[in-house]
Structure 1
Amino acid sequence: MCGVTGWLDWEADLRREERTVREMTRTLVCRGPDAEGVWLSRHLALGHRRLSVIDLDGGVQPLADAPHAPQVVLGYNGELYNYRELRRELESHGHVFRTDSDTEVLLRSHLQWGAAAPERFNGIFAYALWNARDEELLLVRDHLGIKPLYWHAHRSGVLFGSEPKALLANPLFRAELDAQGVAELFALPAAPTAGHGLFRGLNEVRPGRLVRVTRSATTEVRYWRLES
């Protein structure tokens, strides 16, 4: 189990917000006791707490597509059961790997197949992927929603994290209870409305979906559905 958190802001320079991003990240230490990583750019900041399982030395996160001038950066929580098969397929397309981790397989799958990459994944996952060239953030959750991922839209961007407390560590998110969320907590604790959170303005990425955030819009895309 790992923890992911981050902050997208189209107006602020997040390179000046390292302290806040680290505070957001440290709320997730229980999910990832082995290592902490923070990546900062002008409009996007990523934090990660790691529980080391695969490639103990090479699986450090956030993970970028290149060591210098990266264009795509990933914060990932989960496990890809078919990462070896995907790696062989990606190598046949010319991809050269720097690590043995499933994290890099996931990142390079997006480089190869774009937003259609999750359709190829077999596993449990929740992750944030930032494409600096296209100025696009993807928040993605596994098919059945095993791994959690929450997000909140603020005036000039979004906050996100594996747990609500990561968002609460940012002053842009206020701890105000949502009436519907409280009602569902008592009336429907085992089956709350999908995507709703306990706090006002708190959303959960729904299973089998991705949330795409750009300057012009925030949209939800369904990449998988259960078929009988």
Structure 2
Amino acid sequence: MKIAVIGGTGLIGSQVVKNLTAAGHEAVPYSLSSGVDVISGQGLEEAVAGADVVVNLTNSPTFDEASLAFFQTSMDNLLTAACKAGVGHVVILSIVGTDLVPELDYYRAKALQENLLAAGPVPYSIVRATQFMEFVDAVLSWTADDDTVRLPATPIQPIASKDVAAAVAQVAAGAPLNGIRNIGGPEIFTLDELGRITLSHKGDNRAVVTDPTAGMFATVKGDVLTDKDARLAPTRYTDWLA
């Protein structure tokens, strides 16, 4: 199959392209650097022309309210181009629990993206993943100073990006789900516990202080970012750290 991977040079996209190519598909990466802009629409029709499947892994440059406009415009443009080209399957990557945290602008934006795809004219699949292991350092940095890292006890189910990419590639190569597939890491931690594990591994002596008001994930109420019934990936967090 010919599979156009929009956002195909990023953390997930580059690995999806590699996996699909190894499986014998013609996977072609597209990005802003190759002249494809999902907001202006420039290069989009050419990118999806002749494709059996389109995987959209583009992401908003911000996590604030502007992300809503990004996903509205990008999905409108993508679906218009895909429909015109006769594409038979569109795949996006989303987040486990994205529809359960309306307090976060970015999660509302991802829920909007899902809804636009589901209501659109092209058969589709949505892969929802739990939080990436690669993003843990960034999360710790949001509420850190020289002595402490403040984190809430939000339940988190970290997954390695390579496992996310493998799942997206598998879905892209299959029949449209016309629904959602949840994937997650094999273990659940509270975020403050994950912070302690991470700092200990790095030999970082800063203390992790449990603070229910600290950082973006403080907004999350309850255990909504994990899914024990998801398809579980093999990579454990301590193995990934090692």
State the TM-score bracket (shorter-chain normalisation): under 0.3
Which of the pair is proportionally richer in strand? Answer: 1
Structure 1 or 2, whichever has the larger Rg, is 2
Which of the pair is proportionally richer in helix? Answer: 2
Report the TM-score, using the length of structure 2 for normalisation: 0.26
Report the TM-score, using the length of structure 1 for normalisation: 0.27
